[in-house]
Chains A and B, each alone.
Chain A
Amino acid sequence: MRTTSLTERVDAYPTGWISGFAVRPGRALPFGATPVPGGVNFSVYSNHATAIILVLFRRGEREPMAELPIPESFRVGGVYAMVVFGLDVEGTEYGYRADGPFDPVAGHRFDPGRVLADPYARAFGGREVWGVPPDRADPYPYRARLAHDDFDWERDRPLHLPSEDLVIYEMHVRGFTRHPSSDVAAPGTYAGLVEKIPYLRELGVNCVELMPIFEFDEFENSRTDLTSGRALLNYWGYCTVGFFAPKAGYAATGPYGMQVDEFKNLVKQLHRAGIEVMLDVVFNHTAEGNQFGPTISFRGLDNHTYYMLTADGHYQNFSGTGNTVNCNNPVVRGFVLDCLRYWASEYHVDGFRFDLAAILGRAPDGTPLLNPPLIESLAHDPVLRDCKMVAEAWDAAGLYQVGSFPDYCRWSEWNGRYRDVVRRFVKGDPGTVGELATRVVGSPDMYARRGPGASVNFVTAHDGFCLRDLVSYNEKHNEANGEDNRDGESSHDSWNCGREGPTGDREVLALRDRQVRNVLVLLLTSQGVPMLLAGDEIGRTQQGNNNAYCHDDELSWLDWSLVERNSDLLRFVRVLIAFRHAHPGLRGRGSAQGPARDDVVPAVSWHGVRAWTPDWSQQSRLLAVMLRGGSRQPSDCVYVAANAHWEDHELELPAPPATLEWHLVADTAAQAPHDAYEAGSEPHLDDQFRVVIGARSALVLLARRQR
């Protein structure tokens, strides 16, 4: 028998009229505004409000078309829910007025004079086109909108790549294609990024980590740099206005209100190319700032619940931005969970990187918790079970939890200690070899229990110097940020190789090229999950600015002409990424602690100038590691040597596994194209017992059968 469903619902009819609109009691779940047959179900909650009014606008009109007090009888607990019939899904904007006590000392800041955005709004109006200044006089500048939730995903689903197999690429959606050289139809948008997927595929990365794409206002705190006269924006967007809404200004179709479809298409196309999507999410603070900031939604809906407050009602500031989200309040915890479940299920997102995640482990009074309920909930949530969860395990108030983040055997971390020691080793600091050894095998001192997939290894990220600048500047040069060079990280373990900034000195330039490659060799051969900063593979510079959050200009945008100009470097990175994908020993799955499975080659062994004799002394600047992995017989075996000393050294090589011989994969002392060899073309080493490593250079060898 063929089963069919009824074409109509018995609750698809109004029970009454309010302010000229047909309504009926709504359903509390799901929260937010959800199209239902004949109308829209509005559901909003507040435990401290005494009354809530739904405010409806016609799109494009400043003043409301109607205000509908939600009847007391429509309330379920602290949830106010109402179905309004006959609304045009595309032509309607909505908000709420919440009444309740105004008593800042007690933490309450209700003000029914304001229209508040729905924290669950799926789309926003008001910021449809990037860079168009907002209307400061608009009493309701960020307007909650309704969104279609149907999308033809066809067979798409999250890719579920094993964590340790990822090569992450951190990027800014707008900056990636905004530069005139990008040659895409819609520069600076989700659609523009789709056009560049072939580049990502060729590069070999299989996960993009998108800097914030939740709706934000790039004009937040906008100002003019007095020296250059340039407008400074919040270009990075670590300042969320709408946690359930993709940023409309990043969509070519933002002016048509189709950012939801455009972002979903981006995810679908990346998945088709075998690339996962990780979102950089900012739950530690909101765009509302402190008591002097704008009231957008949370402050007016339930200030006492959403924010960490002092005993006298002031905003705690563990985020360095004015307020701190009260993550371990049970209501807020539910909000965060709802939000991530929505992105995982509705947008097929593969994972999340949590900005200043240490804050997620603080109690409502700010105390770090041993067993933070939010972090535990996220770790065990069934909807999120297969999502990557990556913590930036520190905050702006001194809590540093790299290696000690409450992980529930589930969370990964940005390994800040990896970054620090690789930087110091490569620039030639003494006393770094011992820690470097620990870091390049997945930091088992911190992650032995969780495995190397828990360590996201990186040397550069959006915060701090990009790679080319790391080897070109001793000091940050943030004058263009308009804060007298006071902003941005000051201890950055960089070295300019002899001259500060741009130079024509060939020796300095050659050394910088080598230092860049040395970092990349270490990063791409270390166990753990490597993360590249977009543009580092083509030598992008920010002219020494290590905190370019406010620059929507050439300083930040990826200049695609570098693909040609630095094609040697790009080739080098492609070869190393492909090499990484081909050799499981580098990814450390099941190898770091396992016993030797065949012959006498252990999974990890350390070497120095003499084979089997690493030099762990304070003055040592040379380290070699032999990694054996995989189940193939004979073993997959790789030898990586890094020499941060300013002199050449002759290295005695350990014997490769029986029947195999050493071949050269990469040598950063060699000129391109001899700096890296594609699979199958690696030259056989004539001398199987000795190899010379150049001053400040790195070598990668592969043991394989001689052809």
Chain B
Amino acid sequence: MQIDRQMTGEVVVLSLEGELDSRSAPQAQSEIAELVPQDGKIVLDLSGTTYLSSAGLRVMLLTYRQAREAGTRLVLAAVPADVLDVMSATGFLDFFTVSDTVQAGLGVLQR
């Protein structure tokens, strides 16, 4: 799992590349935690996420909780179809704002 950080205007865009499972989750979790801004905006780009296990789901949810705590708005973007299905079936999706693309996610945060 590799995490890239980019700034688009005032929005932090984090791109998650690779598999997010119980082996990579702890590291990913602590890296993301450091990159979530205070009172800001963040897009998690999952277009490069090839697999999300239940530990991976928990990283997503923890990030959401952390963002809320920090007063930061968060959007999930470009979620692969099978990951979306898993998040939907387990109810994890209910917590998130989801956009088809990073661009659309930026649009949502602009509003």
> Beyond A90-B22, A186-B85, is A265–B55 a contact (Cβ under 8 Å)?
no
**Are A261 and B54 interface neighbours, CB within 8 A?**
yes
**Are B89 and A150 interface neighbours, CB within 8 A?**
no
**Are B89 and A186 interface neighbours, CB within 8 A?**
yes
User: Given the complex of chains A and B, what is the CA–CA distance between A91 and B53 in angstroms?
Assistant: 10
User: Given the complex of chains A and B, what is the CA–CA distance between A251 and B21 in angstroms?
Assistant: 19
**Are A258 and B55 interface neighbours, CB within 8 A?**
no
**Are A90 and B53 interface neighbours, CB within 8 A?**
yes
Chain A nearest Cβ from B34, distance in angstroms: 17
Indicate with 1 or 0, residue by residue over B53-96, a CB within 8 angstroms of chain A CB atoms. 11101100100000000000000000000000110111110010
Of B21, B22, B54, B88, the residue contacting A185 (CB under 8 A) is B88
Chain B nearest Cβ from A91, distance in angstroms: 7
Of B58, B89, B95, the residue contacting A148 (CB under 8 A) is B58
- The reply on B23 being an interface residue by CB < 8 A is yes
> Beyond A90-B21, A91-B23, A268-B91, is A261–B57 a contact (Cβ under 8 Å)?
yes
By beta carbon, the residue of chain B nearest A152 is B61
By beta carbon, the residue of chain B nearest A146 is B22
Of A88, A185, A252, the residue contacting B23 (CB under 8 A) is A88
Indicate with 1 or 0, residue by residue over A259-291, a CB within 8 angstroms of chain B CB atoms. 011101100110000000000000000000000
**Are B86 and A258 interface neighbours, CB within 8 A?**
yes
By beta carbon, the residue of chain A nearest B53 is A90
Indicate with 1 or 0, residue by residue over A71-101, a CB within 8 angstroms of chain B CB atoms. 0000000000000000011110000000000
- The reply on A257 being an interface residue by CB < 8 A is yes
**Are B54 and A90 interface neighbours, CB within 8 A?**
yes
Q: Which residues of B contact A190 (CB under 8 A)?
A: 89
B22, B86, B91: residue with the most chain A Cβ atoms closer than 10 Å: B91
Q: Which residues of B contact A194 (CB under 8 A)?
A: 91
**Are A258 and B22 interface neighbours, CB within 8 A?**
no
> Beyond A257-B53, A261-B54, is A269–B91 a contact (Cβ under 8 Å)?
yes
> Beyond A150-B58, A257-B54, is A91–B22 a contact (Cβ under 8 Å)?
yes
By beta carbon, the residue of chain A nearest B52 is A256
Q: Which residues of A contact B55 (CB under 8 A)?
A: 89-90, 148
User: Given the complex of chains A and B, what is the CA–CA distance between A262 and B88 in angstroms?
Assistant: 9
Indicate with 1 or 0, residue by residue over A150-175, a CB within 8 angstroms of chain B CB atoms. 10100000000000000000000000
Q: Which residues of A contact B22 (CB under 8 A)?
A: 88-91
**Are A262 and B85 interface neighbours, CB within 8 A?**
no
User: Given the complex of chains A and B, what is the CA–CA distance between A185 and B89 in angstroms?
Assistant: 9
- The reply on A253 being an interface residue by CB < 8 A is yes
User: Given the complex of chains A and B, what is the CA–CA distance between A269 and B89 in angstroms?
Assistant: 11
By beta carbon, the residue of chain B nearest A190 is B89
**Are A191 and B89 interface neighbours, CB within 8 A?**
yes
> Beyond A185-B88, A191-B88, A265-B91, is A258–B23 a contact (Cβ under 8 Å)?
no
User: Given the complex of chains A and B, what is the CA–CA distance between A680 and B20 in angstroms?
Assistant: 57
User: Given the complex of chains A and B, what is the CA–CA distance between A349 and B47 in angstroms?
Assistant: 37
By beta carbon, the residue of chain B nearest A266 is B91
Q: Which residues of B contact A89 (CB under 8 A)?
A: 22, 55
By beta carbon, the residue of chain B nearest A147 is B54
User: Given the complex of chains A and B, what is the CA–CA distance between A186 and B81 in angstroms?
Assistant: 13
Q: Which residues of B contact A269 (CB under 8 A)?
A: 91
**Are A253 and B89 interface neighbours, CB within 8 A?**
yes
User: Given the complex of chains A and B, what is the CA–CA distance between A416 and B89 in angstroms?
Assistant: 37
B54, B85, B86: residue with the most chain A Cβ atoms closer than 10 Å: B54
- The reply on A189 being an interface residue by CB < 8 A is yes
> Beyond A90-B21, A148-B58, is A256–B91 a contact (Cβ under 8 Å)?
no
**Are A261 and B92 interface neighbours, CB within 8 A?**
yes
**Are A265 and B90 interface neighbours, CB within 8 A?**
yes
**Are B90 and A258 interface neighbours, CB within 8 A?**
yes
> Beyond A90-B53, A148-B54, is A251–B61 a contact (Cβ under 8 Å)?
no
Chain A nearest Cβ from B46, distance in angstroms: 15
Q: Which residues of A contact B23 (CB under 8 A)?
A: 88, 91
By beta carbon, the residue of chain A nearest B22 is A90
**Are B57 and A258 interface neighbours, CB within 8 A?**
yes
Chain B positions near chain A (C-beta within 8 angstroms):
21-23, 53-55, 57-58, 61, 85-86, 88-92, 95
Q: Identify the 6 closest CB pairs spanning chains A and B, nearest first.
A: A265-B91, A191-B89, A90-B22, A261-B90, A252-B89, A258-B54
Beyond the given A190-B89, A261-B54, could you list 20 further A-B residue pairs with CB under 8 A, ordered by the A residue number? A89-B22, A90-B22, A90-B54, A90-B55, A91-B22, A148-B54, A186-B89, A191-B89, A191-B90, A253-B86, A253-B90, A256-B53, A257-B53, A258-B54, A258-B86, A261-B57, A261-B90, A261-B92, A262-B90, A268-B91
Chain A positions near chain B (C-beta within 8 angstroms):
88-91, 148, 150, 152, 185-186, 189-191, 194, 251-253, 256-258, 260-262, 264-265, 268-269
- 10 interchain pairs (CB within 8 A)? A88-B23, A90-B21, A90-B54, A91-B22, A189-B89, A191-B89, A194-B91, A253-B86, A253-B90, A258-B57
